[in-house]
Amino acid sequence: MGLLTFKALGAYNVHALICAFAEKGRVVQTTFSILGFSAHWYGLLVALGIGAGALLAALREQRLGLSKDTALDITLVGVPCAIVGARLYYVLFSLEEYINQPLWRIFAVWEGGLAIYGGLIGAILGGLIYSRVKRLPMSALLDLAAPGFALGQCIGRWGNFVNGEAYGVVVERAAWQRFPLAVNISGTWHAATFFYESAWCLLIVLVLLFMERRTLFVRRGDTFLWYALLYALERAVVEGLRMDSLYWGSMRVSQLLSALLAAAIFALWAYRAKKARPVCRLGAVALQLTATVLLVRGQLLAGLALEAFALALGAILYLWIDKHMGECNHA
């Protein structure tokens, strides 16, 4: 059995994930078969991500002042809504792929084609309905779900690898043809964008949990805002490397949405930090909007640099919201 392999960081090769993931140079989607029914790695990994995210939420619910089983409830409500939202988002921006296909293919989620932003929108709408029924603050539910969202994405992105999707541009330099910089897809090395996002989402989980334990969040809803900001900053850059982006005209939908979402969060913090100097309040927003233009035009390195400066300035603004002191107010 031939195996899809990654070039290791040293002078030797390592096999990709598990031997069952590859056969004759191609990723194997089926893990096992029972009574004629096949189970797919994609679905298994997505389910594992959902379960891990729900477990993380359950471990934190009482710390956030929510009753026991709140995490289970919002999982049962949010997951179906997320799946519907993720699929609808993908199909709406890929109509040419489905317009001449049998209707059932719209529902063939095991083939891939679940857009994360659509899933987040669906889950949030489901959570909003749940919050109204249970009379719970939506901000608390968003905070409960945020680290779980990131953990689920961290695990679920490996489902994209199994399906041979969500990879990036061709990597031509031999020195970069190694994991985790690149992944071998059908004999051609591509940027391992699925791994970049998986690793970044794991970092988001660690940052959110650290800030939560150190009580660094100013108010309810800020855990979710930090999650949304950190994810948006990464996605705005990495999306520019992908070869399977969803487009709206000539623009990558998720890239544009991510960059503007980050700018909106910076604007919210600038509004809250009213005592900060105008140069600090407007700086993060202006830097992110400029980064948006650069990223949409394909200037990824310049856009990334501006996003890094915007994040640093935004973090100072966030400290201002709580402490009303900081570097920006120094004469």
**pLDDT, tens digit (0-9, with 9 covering 90-100), for 291-310:** 999 999 989 999 999 999 99
pLDDT category of residue 34 using cuts at 50, 70 and 90: low
Q: Distance between CA atoms of 186 and 67, rounded to whole angstroms?
A: 49
Q: Distance between CA atoms of 252 and 46, rounded to whole angstroms?
A: 24
Position 40 pLDDT exceeds 80: no
pLDDT in tens, 236-246: 999 999 988 88
Position 323 pLDDT exceeds 60: no
Q: What is the pLDDT of residue 201?
A: 97
Q: Distance between CA atoms of 134 and 165, rounded to whole angstroms?
A: 39
Q: Calculate the CA dihedral of residues 40, 42, 47, 49 and round it to 10 degrees.
A: 150
Position 165 pLDDT exceeds 90: no
Structure tokens at 63: 């710390």
The residues spanned by each domain of the chain are 5-245
Cβ contacts of residue 158 below 8 Å, gap of 6+?
A: 17, 45, 194, 198
Q: What is the pLDDT of residue 169?
A: 93
pLDDT in tens, 4-22: 433 433 333 334 443 433 3
pLDDT in tens, 233-286: 999 999 999 988 888 888 899 999 999 999 999 999 988 887 777 777 888 999
Give the best-scoring range by mean pLDDT among 196-200, 215-219, 311-315: 196-200
Range name among 45-49, 224-228, 250-254, 325-329 with the lowest pLDDT average: 325-329
Q: Return the closest-CA partner of residue 189 out of 198, 181, 197.
A: 181
C-alpha angle 178-182-184 in degrees, rounded to nearest 5: 90
- Between 272 and 35, whose confidence is greater? 272
Q: What is the average pLDDT score of the chain? A: 83
Structure tokens at 61: 């619910």
pLDDT category of residue 52 using cuts at 50, 70 and 90: very high
Q: Distance between CA atoms of 88 and 106, rounded to whole angstroms?
A: 9
pLDDT category of residue 111 using cuts at 50, 70 and 90: low
Q: What is the pLDDT of residue 207?
A: 97
| Averaged pLDDT for residues 316-322 | 79
Name the strand (E) or helix (H) holding 190: strand 188-191
pLDDT in tens, 53-80: 999 999 999 999 999 999 999 999 999 9
Position 1 pLDDT exceeds 60: no
pLDDT category of residue 112 using cuts at 50, 70 and 90: low
Q: What is the pLDDT of residue 281?
A: 81
Q: Tell me what percent of the residues of the chain surpass a pLDDT of 70.
A: 85
Position 215 pLDDT exceeds 80: yes
